[in-house]
Amino acid sequence: RQLEGALHKALSNQELTVVYQPIISLDGKQIGCEALLRWHNEALGEVPPGRFIPICEELGLIITIGEWVLYQACSQAKAWCNRFQHPLFITVNVSSIQFQRADMAKVIARVLRETGLDSRCLTVEITETVLADNAQNILQQLLTLREMGVELAIDDFGTGYSSLSYLKRFPLSKLKIDRAFIRDLPDDQEDRALVKAIISMAGNLNLKVVAEGVETQSQLEFLQTLQCDYSQGYLHSKPLSASAFQEWFVTRV
């Protein structure tokens, strides 16, 4: 409960920051990054997002904090696009609680307008929870986002409980394979079969695939043989501060 009190003030006390983890297409041509929230509190130290984000969701704070992350990420991406003349996409996690408000698509449209970021440079990451919510309104908002040019990725793919039918019903563009399936590649025969099947299914559904948690060269080589589209993980880089990401980026383009 100490956490709750501190969280209420985290944003106004400027304790929140956004870090950026590189995502690279397997052909090396496209570069992007995932925006990830960090919280450093004087008394509590560095609190991991897995601990404080669920509390933000419970308290409804994720509405303001989520919008702040979106704004930070889009204005940063816009600044990098201007500076480097090299296309860069940014992916931002949007919680199911944020999608429960009827105007999430409008919020995203406004942030894009205010920051000047091209909508095609933004990918919104949602979890299966968003899609499991049967509200017609959610489908409508996701369709609106796609019409605007924003891409939609399903995060942590393979770990949820929902049926695969949502892959057909929702206008998704990318699927992020959860790192649990990548960890034991290329040795584990079952994970090999699963990842192979996921990539092949995604290809047939016209979805791009991002492999998460790629830590070794042999994992990357295996993913290359399967024609996976993108990889993300410690092999390329851990999440970086904005200035460290910028340094990393200039060495790549």
Binding site for ligand G (CB under 6 A): 21, 36-37, 48-50, 53, 66, 69, 93, 95, 155-156, 179, 212-215, 233-234, 239
Spatial separation of the C-alpha atoms in residues 39 and 207, rounded to whole Å? 33
Q: How far is the CB of 85 from ligand G (least distance, A)?
A: 28
Distance of CA 142 to the CA centre of its chain: 15
**Residue 159: other Cβ atoms inside 10 A:** 13
Inter-residue contact 223 to 26 (CB < 8 Å): yes
Q: Which does 150 bind (CB under 5 to 8 A by kind): Na ion, ligand G, Mn ion, none?
A: none
Which residue in the shown chain puts its C-beta closest to ligand G?
233
Inter-residue contact 230 to 208 (CB < 8 Å): yes
Nearer to ligand G, 41 or 95 (CB): 95
Which positions from 174 through 213 interact with Na ion, judged by CB under 5 A? 212
Nearest to 103 by CA among 55, 148, 145: 145
* Binding of Na ion by 156 (CB under 5 A): yes
Compute how many residues bind Mn ion; rule: CB under 5 A. Answer: 3
Peptide bond into 186 cis (omega under 30): yes
| Chosen residue from 125, 128, 151, 229 binding Mn ion by CB under 5 A | 125
Spatial separation of the C-alpha atoms in residues 245 and 32, rounded to whole Å? 11
Nearer to Mn ion, 125 or 128 (CB): 125
Which positions from 80 through 119 interact with Mn ion, judged by CB under 5 A? 93
Helix, strand, coil share of the chain (percent; to 5): 50, 20, 30
Token duo for residue 62: 């994720």
Q: How far is the CB of 9 from Na ion (least distance, A)?
A: 29
Nearer to ligand G, 179 or 192 (CB): 179
Q: How far is the CB of 53 from ligand G (least distance, A)?
A: 5
Enclosing H/E stretch for 124: strand 122-126
Which residue in the shown chain puts its C-beta closest to Mn ion?
155
User: Letter for the amino acid at 71?
Assistant: Y
* Binding of Na ion by 215 (CB under 5 A): no
Query: What does the binding site for Mn ion look like in residue numbers (CB under 5 A)?
Result: 93, 125, 155
Q: Which residues bind Na ion (CB under 5 A)?
A: 156, 212
